[in-house]
Chain A
Amino acid sequence: MVIPVLAFVGLIFIPIGLACIVSSNKVVEVVYRYDTKCVPGNMLHNKVAYIQNASIDKTCTRTLKIPRDMKRPIYIYYQLDKFYQNHRRYSTSRSDAQLREPKAAGDVAEFCKPEAFAANGRPIVPCGLIAWSLFNDTYSFARRNRLPRDGDHGPPPLTVSKRGISWPSERGHLFGKNVFPRNFQNGSLVGGGQLDPRKPLSEQEDLMVWMRTAALPRFRKLYGRMEADLVAGELITVTVRNSYNSYSYAGGEKAVVLSTAGWLGGRNGFLGRAYVVVGMACFLLALLLTLLCLVFPMKEEHLLLR
């Protein structure tokens, strides 16, 4: 009874695992960590001062080499480490009602502490720590392989679309079409990025992505999408405007990621390997049990009385 089940599980799992591995291997991924590399050498000892100094221009441009062909769409992610979006104090600090409808703009005191009211005593929209700490590094990309000719202004840009990076339900229901940012980021303490007060929240997809709090302290979030094919060996430049403070806390890595996606999503070798391992284990056990049954067949004298 058990042996066929095990064998069957093995039979199913190994192909699934192999399919997963194949799919995962097809995904091309370029990760560039820039949190230290984009800090000038003289400021490395005091990165917090660097990031907090508004007068320093924090743009930094680097060149990346594409290892394999990347078919469109190419997804751009930012990746943070040791950033506890799952901290209870953080992840609960928001007001869902306020994001949805203008009526509930004042519905902040209960949920949004300590970022509920602006200095003038008016409620902040969107309130809470999550929105307040909105990620605000920006990236722009360009191909490097076509050298600038005369008349050209730098490398040809690769446009990054920020539309459609959030879930449709967020745009449609959770973030109101007539809810506009108010009193946002105008306190004494400025956290992260600014929001365009003229755009309703339903169009602020960066905010939507950010506000879906990540489960783990290391996470990637979708930055945008690039509708272009890149070929192996191609060089692209990435221009990072490094303004988000990941330097206050230890291990605050930042990276920009370019990745394609397969049917399973991103590059995820673990799932496939796990399937194969479990499948193999089942197979082996089935084999072992079969042997056991052959060596020690079910004896009639088994009815032991205890």
Chain B
Amino acid sequence: MARTGGRKRDRLRWSKLYTFSCFRTPSTDEAAGPSATNGSAVGGPGFSRIVHCNNSILHRRKPLKYPTNYISTTKYNVLTFLPKAIFEQFRRVANLYFLLTAILSLTPVCPFSPVSMIAPLAFVVGLSMIKEALEDWRRFMQDMKVNNRKVSVHKGDGEFGYRHWEDLCVGDVVRVEKDQFFPADLLLLSSSYEDGICYVETMNLDGETNLKLKRSLEVTLPLEEDDLFKDFRGVIRCEDPNPSLYTFVGNLEYERQVYALDPFQILLRDSKLRNTSFIYGVVIFTGHDSKVMQNSTESPSKRSRIEKKMDMIIYVLFTVLVLISLISSIGFAVRIKLDLPRWWYLQPQNSNKLDDPSRPALSGIFHLITALILYGYLIPISLYVSIEVVKVAQAHFINQDLHMFDEETGNTAQARTSNLNEELGQVHTILSDKTGTLTCNQMDFLKCSIAGVSYGVRSSEVERAAAKQMASGAADHDIHVEDVWENNEDEIQLVEGVTFSVGKTQKSSIKGFSFEDDRLMHGNWTNEPNSSTVLLFFRILALCHTAIPEVNEATGALTYEAESPDEGAFLVAAREFGFEFFKRTQSSVFIREKHTSNGPTEREFKILNLLEFNSKRKRMTVILKDEDNRIVLLCKGADTIIFDRLAKNGRLYEPDTTRHLNEYGEAGLRTLALSYRVLEESEYASWNAEFLQAKTSIGPDRELQLERVADLIEKELILVGATAVEDKLQTGVPQCIDRLAQAGLKIWVLTGDKMETAINIGYACSLLRQGMKRISLSTTAGDQVAQDAQKAAKESLMLQIANGSQMVKLEKDPDAAFALIIDGKALTFALEDDMKHMFLNLAIECASVICCRVSPRQKALVTRLVKEGLGKTTLAIGDGANDVGMIQEADIGVGISGVEGMQAVMASDFSISQFRFLERLLVVHGHWCYKRIAQMICYFFYKNITFGLTIFYFEAFAGFSGQSVYDDWFMLLFNVVLTSLPVISLGVFEQDVSSEICLQFPALYQQGPNNLFFDWYRILGWMGNGLYSSLAIFFLNICIFYDQAIRSGGQTSDMASVGTTMFSCIIWAVNIQIALTMSHFTWIQHLFVWGSIGTWYVFIILYGTALKSRDNYQIMLEVLGPAPLYWAATLLVTAACNIPYLIHISYQRSCSPLDHHVIQEIKYLRKDVEDETMWKRERSKARQRTKIGFTARVDAKIKQIKGRLHKKSPSLTIHTVS
């Protein structure tokens, strides 16, 4: 496998080209200062690691044995599984209680046989543990996949061969190829570039998509071929493993010299090699020592609101349990004291301490334990495990939902933790990331303004949407948004009279290019009046960048490796206009121009300087020499920055361009201004001298120097035009946001982008619209650190918030909507303790909230503020590592498994591949899961109360002696077998309305956030139902089976027959109850419900033949089966138990129906088919009064138009405050 020949090195010295980033690395010669401190630290405590390069044999045994590169994220291993998993299980209070009772069941205190206590517990705990084991197995398989990735490793004598990641050792030399992940933390030795640089994508670490530059030490540069590693030796002394991603302290002893190392030579595990064909590196940290693994935090375990409340109910039931046990034990003590001495048939003189008439108190205490065990059926032992089973099944449904399958990526939705399904149905606020979540992070060149003329006829998505809805809004405002989305084939006439062909615009086949205008395309631009400016414009596009062209060997097509997607879009655009950038060398850029008559000509432009883009400069400049030896400076940048630097004679197109820029901005496009300047040779020479001086200067102010010098040349520019690039929204985002808004959800956008971009996207998503009152919070304090400046900023912010609140309060128009836009700096103040509630109060009054320029930490803080301040369920959705904080902080974290790394997905509870699937995830699955779990828990408590209380009533008739009327086996099977499957099928399959209706009536979702199905009213209702049923079952049976003969043969009842009859009644009653509760039946529900009842009869017949219990021998076949009284009693009691529920639901449905009742009714009567208009009316009524989203936008527009028509006054547009 060894490719000793090596590959052709790209002879490209980027360091000569780059101005800022490359030289930020302190090179070895200037490391005098820092390396001194490094040197003292290395070898000290915390810096004790020694790595023998290319000598990993030393690291395979002590004392230098470090962990292997094997990683394991599993919770258990084979040995620890049992103890750890069992411990986990018994941390649940209910399970602990059952464990105690199981232990006590071995003592004579217990009223049951030990097996009937231990078996269900073992079953329940065993099932949960199997689930744990399966989940852990899945993690193990995932680890194995990573561990078994292969990497090329030096095997000695200059031979490289592939090895599994897990077999990698500290000290190994590895060769990583393009687009591979680094298997461990590496020291970069050399790369395919001559000067030892490489590009790294750290998306998995920090979510940043731009490429980072790494640079090797000068001394290791010669190690550029496999052969050369034959004799390579070196020792690295460095810091111990730590989680800090951006620091590294260490030094390299190589050829008897010591060189200081810093983070720029370190390649971190899980980042990816980009734009570089290969690198060589030495493994420093392996496996769990690597920075990324050190960084991984246990994602916090989240529990849903329902589960927390369920715990409360369990506590309530515990209280009831203790209470009735106390009653029971007091009753027992009293009877022991008063009656037992006279009950001769019990031989009271032979009593032991459990029932000693002379010591009733002691006996009472013993009896308390007995009673606590006896009435334990009040606590549903199988509740937890049933819920777990149900949730796993629900998660499976979510994972399998084809409507959430993304064909492009082949990803389905994934419920990564199954214990939050029902929380999806209760979301109140959605906090969304922007880039990669709402938008694709793919830029499409859409429009441009050249020499004051705007080109590009294709409209942006925002414009299209606006056109569509205006058309529909004007025609008939009862038309639903859905319909608007669906019939987009016809041409739609805009109010202004511009015609857009909406449906016909087939997707442009070129990624990143959606421009359409015949004036410029196909070389037609040469006929334009300002064709020379146009030429210049295209050249700027093709030349002013840092990208590298890449030839696809199969097709010969060119792709560009650009640092930002905007740049990529420009290059694609330039190519399409006939200015194909195809080659970059050390000093030149080559473009192929197709506009000349004699075919394509290749032109070479010598790059003299490159002043690259950064967020502070907001512009980028190249200085180059063209074929005519003219020196030209090309500059692109943010419009404000460029306009500031225009020459007096360069402002010719400024007014028109500004107008166009505003239009583009309104349409939700990202804009840049392009300009140029022709330099005189002498002018350039003098500047370049100064620049070189600054570049080679040493010291902390070098950067400032460089900036200052760069500033000197970037002036006197001449404006050429502006570009408009569409930050493409992901498919279906506006529709999804619209429906989510209709479902009553609040949406906050938290983005790292600047305010203008954020606002653009806000418009694009209909989170903002014209006529919405905007409250912008920002500080002007800038970077000032002074205390009083901070204070002033804070006060001004306080004032802004107060003003905003005042404005909201004074607003009289009920339809007025407010939007809050806040930037990161203001947010730091707003999140301080004394202000955050003010801020939150203002924010919740606003229909939409957009936070710009927020850091990952602030995202988490905002999430916490909303979560804790509102006390409602929050959902955070994001795709990058910068969203991890907020995903973990929110009640539910959703990760987009899109193009960015897996970090967000790994931290999330649910992952979807497109934002638009959120609608289905919440409105359908969330709604269903919430109702299912809520009903299931309620039913669980109902059935256990029904069963448990009958045991208690019987005690009163059995002298509180702890005798159960039921056979031990009945009780054992009650929870585990006889009533478990129907409730599980309820939890898995129940649907109040079908998924289509959920989507058509998003307002139904509000039942979740309002917690209609798990409020105390409902819980107590169910408990009351249980209480009633228990009373009905017990006393009806007692009266029926009192003392009379039960058969025509004269036989009377005994305990076994009464118990069996009562138990039959319970089985019937609770199963009929669940059948009444269900509104969606498939054969599975029928099978489970009726099967459970059938199982009971099968069981009692088999059990009756098994000679196990004397009293129940042949009880069904011989005693009860032939007795009409038994069947009559079963029928009567079952009916009596369920009639109150029937009455309740019929009352509720006819007098105060819930939304889904109405829909069910309509569906049942098939009115939706027969009465189209009514169905539509219902649907339009069901729309929540929303203030954001398309629907709201349409409504607002309609209102505006109507207002204009009626009042005939055009001044209805509301002035926005910004």
Binds A, one of B894-902, B1139-1147, B1188-1196: B1139-1147
Report B879-912 CB contacts with A as 1/0, cut-off 8 Å: 0000000000000000000000000000000000
Q: Which residues of A contact B1003 (CB under 8 A)?
A: 305
Q: Report which of B111, B1010, B1129 forms a contact with A88, defined as CB distance below 8 A.
A: B111
Q: Report which of A89, A167, A218, A292 forms a contact with B1150, defined as CB distance below 8 A.
A: A292
Q: Report which of A88, A168, A217, A300 forms a contact with B1118, defined as CB distance below 8 A.
A: A168
Question: How many angstroms from the CA of A82 to the CA of B1135 in the assembled complex?
Answer: 32
Report B961-983 CB contacts with A as 1/0, cut-off 8 Å: 11101000000000000000000
Q: How far is the CB of A258 from chain B (nearest CB, A)?
A: 11
Question: How many angstroms from the CA of A133 to the CA of B346 in the assembled complex?
Answer: 9
Question: How many angstroms from the CA of A17 to the CA of B590 in the assembled complex?
Answer: 101
The reply on B554 being an interface residue by CB < 8 A is: no
Q: Which residues of B contact A274 (CB under 8 A)?
A: 1036, 1039-1040, 1132, 1136
B1043 touches A218 (CB 8 A): yes
The reply on A230 being an interface residue by CB < 8 A is: no
Chain A, residue nearest B1108 (CB): A96
The reply on A3 being an interface residue by CB < 8 A is: yes
The reply on A184 being an interface residue by CB < 8 A is: no
Q: Which residues of A contact B1119 (CB under 8 A)?
A: 167
Question: How many angstroms from the CA of A292 to the CA of B771 in the assembled complex?
Answer: 47
The reply on B1050 being an interface residue by CB < 8 A is: yes
Question: How many angstroms from the CA of A85 to the CA of B1119 in the assembled complex?
Answer: 20
The reply on A221 being an interface residue by CB < 8 A is: yes
Chain A, residue nearest B1003 (CB): A305
Q: Which residues of A contact B1111 (CB under 8 A)?
A: 212-213
Tell me the chain B residues, 947-996 only, with Cβ under 8 Å from chain A: 954, 957-959, 961-963, 965
Known contacts A96-B1110, A215-B1055: A304-B1151 contact under CB 8 Å: no
Q: Which residues of B contact A243 (CB under 8 A)?
A: none
A265 touches B1055 (CB 8 A): no
Tell me the chain A residues, 65-87 only, with Cβ under 8 Å from chain B: 73, 75, 77, 79, 83-87
The reply on B1006 being an interface residue by CB < 8 A is: yes
How many residues of chain A have a CB within 8 Å of chain B?
85
Q: How far is the CB of B1179 from chain A (nearest CB, A)?
A: 9
B339 touches A249 (CB 8 A): yes
Question: How many angstroms from the CA of A112 to the CA of B1129 in the assembled complex?
Answer: 35
B1042 touches A263 (CB 8 A): no
Q: Report which of B111, B345, B1038, B1131 forms a contact with A83, defined as CB distance below 8 A.
A: B345
Question: How many angstroms from the CA of A84 to the CA of B957 in the assembled complex?
Answer: 8
Question: How many angstroms from the CA of A86 to the CA of B961 in the assembled complex?
Answer: 8
Q: Which residues of A contact B1114 (CB under 8 A)?
A: 167, 169
Q: How far is the CB of A298 from chain B (nearest CB, A)?
A: 6
Question: How many angstroms from the CA of A293 to the CA of B1150 in the assembled complex?
Answer: 7
Binds A, one of B513-521, B642-650, B788-796, B1153-1161: B1153-1161
The reply on B659 being an interface residue by CB < 8 A is: no
Q: Which residues of B contact A271 (CB under 8 A)?
A: 1040, 1125, 1128-1129, 1132
The reply on A43 being an interface residue by CB < 8 A is: no
The reply on B118 being an interface residue by CB < 8 A is: no
The reply on B665 being an interface residue by CB < 8 A is: no
Q: Which residues of A contact B346 (CB under 8 A)?
A: 84, 87, 89-90, 129
A219 touches B1177 (CB 8 A): no
The reply on B848 being an interface residue by CB < 8 A is: no
Q: Which residues of A contact B1051 (CB under 8 A)?
A: 165, 167, 222
Chain A, residue nearest B1055 (CB): A215
The reply on A289 being an interface residue by CB < 8 A is: yes
Question: How many angstroms from the CA of A1 to the CA of B1040 in the assembled complex?
Answer: 31
Report A182-199 CB contacts with B as 1/0, cut-off 8 Å: 000000010110000000
Q: Report which of B1039, B1050, B1118, B1147 forms a contact with A225, defined as CB distance below 8 A.
A: B1050
Known contacts A265-B1045, A289-B1150: A222-B1050 contact under CB 8 Å: yes
Q: How far is the CB of B117 from chain A (nearest CB, A)?
A: 16
The reply on A5 being an interface residue by CB < 8 A is: yes
Q: Report which of A6, A168, A217, A302 forms a contact with B1142, defined as CB distance below 8 A.
A: A6
Q: Which residues of B contact A83 (CB under 8 A)?
A: 345
Binds B, one of A54-62, A233-241, A278-286: A278-286
Q: Which residues of B contact A221 (CB under 8 A)?
A: 1052
A268 touches B1055 (CB 8 A): no
The reply on B1044 being an interface residue by CB < 8 A is: yes
A282 touches B1055 (CB 8 A): no
Q: Report which of A13, A189, A278, A302 forms a contact with B1153, defined as CB distance below 8 A.
A: A302
The reply on A259 being an interface residue by CB < 8 A is: yes
Q: Which residues of A contact B1139 (CB under 8 A)?
A: 6, 9, 278, 281-282, 285
B963 touches A261 (CB 8 A): no
Report B1156-1186 CB contacts with A as 1/0, cut-off 8 Å: 0011010010000000001001100110100
B1113 touches A220 (CB 8 A): no
The reply on B1123 being an interface residue by CB < 8 A is: yes
The reply on B155 being an interface residue by CB < 8 A is: no
The reply on A2 being an interface residue by CB < 8 A is: yes
Q: How far is the CB of B307 from chain A (nearest CB, A)?
A: 24
B347 touches A16 (CB 8 A): no
B345 touches A129 (CB 8 A): yes
The reply on B700 being an interface residue by CB < 8 A is: no
Q: Which residues of B contact A289 (CB under 8 A)?
A: 1146-1147, 1150
In the A-B complex, the 9 residue pairs with the closest CB atoms: A266-B1044, A114-B350, A75-B1050, A266-B1045, A133-B345, A2-B1146, A88-B963, A215-B1058, A88-B961
Chain A to chain B contacts (Cβ below 8 Å), 21 pairs: A2-B1142, A6-B1146, A86-B965, A87-B346, A90-B345, A114-B350, A133-B345, A192-B345, A215-B1053, A218-B1043, A220-B1044, A222-B1051, A249-B343, A261-B1049, A268-B1125, A270-B1039, A270-B1040, A282-B1139, A298-B1150, A302-B1153, A306-B1007
Known contacts A167-B1114, A298-B1150, A306-B1006; 18 further A-B pairs (Cβ under 8 A) = A6-B1146, A16-B1131, A77-B1045, A89-B346, A129-B347, A167-B1051, A189-B347, A191-B344, A215-B1054, A261-B1049, A264-B1128, A266-B1044, A274-B1136, A282-B1139, A300-B1178, A305-B1155, A306-B1007, A306-B1155
Task: Enumerate chain A interface residues (CB-CB to B < 8 A).
Answer: 1-3, 5-6, 9, 13, 16, 20, 73, 75, 77, 79, 83-92, 96, 99, 113-115, 129, 132-133, 165, 167-170, 173-174, 189, 191-192, 212-222, 225, 245, 248-250, 259, 261-268, 270-271, 274-275, 278, 281-282, 285, 289, 292-293, 296, 298, 300, 302-306
